[in-house]
Amino acid sequence: MPKGKPYSDEFKQEALNLVNEQHMRPSQVARDLGIDGDTLRRWLRAHERTPAEVASSSAAAELTRLCRENDQLRMERDILKKALGIFSRMPQ
């Protein structure tokens, strides 16, 4: 079986972005880029994410954001505790 034309990962990603983010029809994207429609559909199927995967990735991103925020708040709390200790010992 002969191999098809090799496409770079960047080219594939751009084609997928045109369909997924720019909401262009796959047939139009394939025609504009000069690739076979079946090839583009195969790339789309390979990169499809189920709703569970999307929810999982967004939950993971939210967890990461909350952990960073929690670390920031702890640091600010510790700074305020130290400042309170310093100012409470100062003579008035």
User: Looking at the structure, do residues 7 and 28 belong to the same domain, yes or no?
Assistant: yes
Using pLDDT thresholds of 50, 70 and 90, give the confidence band for residue 3. low
CATH of residue 35's domain is 1.10.10
pLDDT digits (tens, 9 = 90+) for 10-66: 999 999 989 988 889 999 999 999 999 999 999 998 888 766 776 787 888 899 999
User: Looking at the structure, do residues 31 and 65 belong to the same domain, yes or no?
Assistant: no
- pTM beyond cutoff 0.85: no
Q: How many domains does the chain have?
A: 2
Sign of the C-alpha dihedral, residues 50, 56, 57, 58? positive
User: Looking at the structure, do residues 4 and 44 belong to the same domain, yes or no?
Assistant: yes
Look up the domain containing 15 and give its range: 1-48
Element (H, E) at 83: helix 51-89
User: Looking at the structure, do residues 10 and 25 belong to the same domain, yes or no?
Assistant: yes
pLDDT digits (tens, 9 = 90+) for 57-78: 788 889 999 999 999 999 999 9
User: Looking at the structure, do residues 43 and 13 belong to the same domain, yes or no?
Assistant: yes
